[in-house]
Every structure is written in structure tokens, then in C-alpha cells.
Chains A and B, each alone.
Chain A
Amino acid sequence: MGTQLTNVIKTTTFALALIGLAACSSTSETEPTAPVAQESSGESAAARAARMEQERLERERMEEERREQAALNTTVFYFDFDVAEFKASDRETLVYHARNLASNPSSSIRLEGHADERGTREYNLALGERRANSIRDFLIVNGASRNQIETVSYGEERPAVRGQTENAYRQNRRVEIQPAG
């Protein structure tokens, strides 16, 4: 026994510590490394737990703020051809927008709906409006007030990209969130 067992114990402890380290760290880049168990700080176990909890909450709060900011910075939503419902992948982002409006009753936005250039111009006006309305309705259900949202359709009249390629069409089928007024 002796040295061999001691080595195994040391290795195991070290491994456990590493695992503990990994478990404590989150995916965030700004995450400070979880402190290894301190041996002689004079802090009680309870105080340490409370501090770690606070740090965890702080990390989560910063993460949430980052997500919210990214969502609010996303102001263009794309649609599939001939479809007026927004993509499921945009749902979460739109919830942030709704909450932002809900907590700022004096702020308002303008939803601008667009269509790609295929088909007739006046029907595309209707298609653009339907897209803007689908986002408007979702925002209202999630907390925004109707009088905070103005909708307008430009149909195919204001493309984001000129051209007759699928790529151009895809970039034109959109609703943009603009500041109001």
C-alpha cells in the first residue's frame, strides 16, 4: 500500500475537484472560475454557500441581460414564401420585445411588413400587412399594448435587396421593427 494508495487517493481527489470545477462553471465566457474549496479563509460553509448562490444568480442575471439585449437588437424577422406566420425560432426574441414594451408603456414601435416581388403588387401589400399583423398580435398577447404598435405594409415596394434570386427574395420577405413616429 503506502505510496500507491496515496497516489490513487490524491488522483481521485484531484479528479473529483476537477469535476467539481467543471460542474460549477457555466458556458459563459465571462464566467469566473469556480473557486476551489478554500481551506483557511475563515468563511463558514453556510456563508460560502450563500456567496456562491449570489454569484450564480449574478451570472444568470448577466446572461439574461445579454439575451435580452441580443433579442432587442434583432429587429428584422424573415418569413417563408407565401407564409404570414413568423418562424417558431423567432418566438423567444419576440417575447423579449413584448416584455420590453410592456415595461415601457410610453414607448412605441412601428412594424413594417414586406413581401418579395413575385405576383401582383397590390396582393403583396396585403401579404406584407398580414405578416406585420401576425407579429403585432403576438406582441399584444405577450404584454404589449395595442396603442404601442403601429403597422404598415410596403408590399414589394421597399425591397431590402434587389434581384430575382431566391436569396434576394428570402431577404425581402420580412417584417422590420422600427422606432415609431
Chain B
Amino acid sequence: MLRLICTVWLGLWLSTSAVAAELNIEITRGVDNPIPIAVVPFSWEGAGSPGEDVAQVISNNLRQVGEFQPLSRANMLSMPDEESEVYYRDWRILAQQYLVVGKVSQIAGSQSVQVQWEFFDINRERKILGEVLTGEMSQLRDIAHEISDVIYQEITGKRGAFSTKILYVSAEGPIENTTYSLHVADYDGRRAQVLLQSPEPIMSPTWSPDGSQIAYVSFETDLPRIYIQNLATGQRRQVSNFPGINSSPVWSPDGSKLAMVLSKDGSPDIYVLDLITDEMIQLTDHPRAETEPSWTLDGQNVIFTSDRTGQPQVYQANVNGGGFPERLTFDCFYCAKGQFLPDGVNLVHVRRETRQDNSYSIAIMNLETGRVVTLTDTALDESPSVAPNGSMIMFGTTYNGQGVLDAVSIDGRVKFRLPSSQGDVREPAWSPYLN
């Protein structure tokens, strides 16, 4: 098998100072041609200001996913807000392929708004679609994400992931008095809320397939135990209470099972709990460390990390038992935290190439061709989490000594950093589709 190691160097970095206050978007020059699209600032009709720049949210979404090149406002020749004001020539001159216009109007005497938006194909000089959306003023950001999803799907044929959310853990304060918190936020890090706070570590947050529950590891009893929490009600329950390590909870794609790591029988192994029958099966049984499970899309196999050959490598085992786990990674010194992209062919993982090379990066290996692409050029990367449409990968890394969350588009073109609060943030978990 011819194995090509191709590192996508992220090349020239242009740092644009964030238009949306906290986002730091770094754009690279890549090999692909991003689609030029103009999103004209939406007009506003109502008292005061709308509180959200809907067009900017849409622009940021499209830029961050890597496939689009939104036009800078300074270059726009006109600012139409509806079809009758659109002159296709203005946009053809600027080599734009698509145009988005809209207007936000406050419904008199209320906190409700109506958003009318329209979407045009510049080359064919025709309107693709238009919509009228209504909601509360406070939902303008959600509406902007919804519009982004429609645009994305219309142009690429793929479902948009802009209305998804993330979980992540933060650690704040001095070493002898650290506060650990579990947060949920929009996928871009905005509108973060604290779900849990503790003087003891929190780890491994994860989503149920329907997005209604989360699971995580908490040391609040001075021991690592797995908890499941209902997002709407906040109710939580302890799911495992075995001696030793209880960690790495991951729901199966159909939501009926929870894979986890338990070391109760002497060393960490992968177990699967049937959430309906409460039956527990042991999937691996090896004296070395087996950890970091993830599921294949058909729910038939579990991917996991094992150091049975000395250093961590990624393996796959069938849930129905029988046979030996199949080793998936071979050319790296240390390969861990493997997960399949939605295409079921590409495996994202954390990779350290050689013993001499002390850096840990996010990489993708194509299981059919064996080709490996390194997505990041930072050296302390961990915890990759994939958007449900496979368009972006978020991960934890270190910047200026602090833990931060970065996201990279799947083609490696665009990287953005989430707004960072005090302290370290780590362990992002991307939600499933929520709309």
C-alpha cells in the first residue's frame, strides 16, 4: 500500500482583526477556490438597534466552514435589501457568484421580529429562493444560523451545521484552588452557559444522539464517575460507580448503549452498557490500557485506543464480540483518540509521528488509501471533535501557555479560535444536529 504523508501547511497567515468582537479568524491561502459570496448587511426597521448583525453572523459562518469567501463590506458597490434593488452587474464586476440580501423589521409594540431574506445566483441572474422568518429579537442569532444552514445546503448539497452547539470544560483560578466548569455554547463559542461547576475535575463531555442529554466524568466524589444529565431539566444521575477509572462515556448512534472505560478488573478496558436493559458487556480484555472509545456510524464497531504494543495506537472491535480487535494505525509513534468522519472512511485522530518528534497534532487518515493529512501545525493538540456534517473539526490546543479551542475546516483552509474566557478551556464536544 502506497502511503503518502501529506502535511497541509497552513501557509501564509492573515490575521483579520475580529469584526464580531471576540472571534479571531485566521485565513490561509489554500489550494481550493473558495466560493465568492456577498452577504449584504440586512436593513433594520424598528426601535433602537437590532442587537445582532445578522449578515455578519452569516458571513462568519460561511467563511469559517472554509468553502466560501464572503465579500468585504468595504468593497460593496450597493447595499440592496430586496430583489427590486438588486443590480446583477454590481456583483458580477466584483466576481461574486452568490448574493444574499435581507431586512429585519420589528413587529410594532412587541419584542418580535420578522426577517425577510433573499438569495441570488449572480451568473444566472436569478433568485434562488426567499424566506420570511419570525421570532423574538433574542433569537436573531439563531435565525442567522438558520439562514446560513439553508444557504450552505442550497450551494453544497450538504446539511449545514451552523445551528449546532458545543460542550467544553474550563479550569479557572490558582492551582491550589481551581474551579472546573462544564459549559454549553453555540458552535462558534458564543452565548456560553455554565451547566456544572465543581472544585474537582470534570472530563469527557459528550452528547446523546438526539441532543437531549449529555454525559461526562466528574471527580466530585473524589473519584472519577460517569454522570448523565438532561439538558432541559438539569436532572442528573450517576451511571457508573465501579472501583478504579470510570471514564470516556460515548453513546451509540442509536442512543441505546453507552460505551465507557472501566478499570475495575485490573486495567482500563472498554465496556458497553445497554441503557435499556442495564446489561453491561466487556468489549476488550487486555492487561494494558484500552480507552477512548468511539462508535462507527452503523453502531456495529467501537474504535478505541490501546497501548498493547507499547505506545497508543487506534484499534477497532466489533460490538458483538468474537475475533480480535483490528489495528488501524501503523505509521505513527503515538496515535490516539480515533473517530470516524461521517463518510465512514476518514479517521480523525491525535498523532505524534515519531519518538524524536515531540509534537501532537490533529490528523486524518483515509482508511482506504492509507493517506495521512496533518490538519494542524500546533504541537499540543488533543480532543478532536467533528461537526455532524463533517465540515469542521474542533480541538483543544495550547496558546501562550493557556488552553484554547480551535476549529479547522475539513480542507484545512480556515482556522478559527473560539473566544476565550479566563483560564484554560479544553475537551470540546460537538453536538448532533439540533434543528
Contact = CB atoms under 8 A, between A and B. Distances in A.
A119 interface: yes
Contact of B203 (A121, A130, A152): A121
B224 A125 contact: yes
B427 A130 contact: no
Contacts of A155: 203
B49 to A, nearest CB: 41
Interface in A68-100: 82
Contacts of A163: 401
A127 B311 CA distance: 11
A147 B152 CA distance: 60
A69 B245 CA distance: 32
Given A126-B268, A129-B245, A157-B219, A119 B360 contact: yes
A34 interface: no
A127 B219 contact: no
Contacts of A143: none
B334 A122 contact: no
Contacts of B186: none
Interface residues of B, number: 38
Contacts, number: 88
Interface in B337-375: 337, 350, 352, 358, 360
B112 interface: no
Contacts of B96: none
A115 to B, nearest CB: 11
A122 B292 contact: yes
Given A118-B380, A119-B350, A163-B401, A152 B222 contact: yes
Interface string A142-181: 0000000001111101111111100000000000000000
Interface residues of A, number: 26
B60 interface: no
A120 interface: yes
Interface in B368-399: 380, 382-383, 398
A153 B245 contact: yes
Interface in B177-210: 178, 201, 203-204
Contacts of A126: 245, 261, 263, 267-268, 289, 291, 307
Contacts of B325: none
Nearest to A165: B401
28 contacts: A82-B311, A117-B380, A118-B360, A119-B336, A119-B350, A119-B360, A119-B382, A120-B360, A120-B382, A121-B203, A122-B203, A122-B248, A122-B292, A123-B289, A123-B336, A125-B224, A125-B245, A125-B247, A125-B291, A126-B268, A126-B291, A126-B307, A154-B201, A158-B201, A159-B175, A161-B175, A162-B175, A163-B401
Interface of A: 82, 117-123, 125-127, 129-130, 151-155, 157-164
Interface of B: 175, 178, 201, 203-204, 219, 222-224, 244-245, 247-248, 261, 263, 267-268, 289, 291-292, 305, 307, 311-312, 334, 336-337, 350, 352, 358, 360, 380, 382-383, 398, 401, 426-427
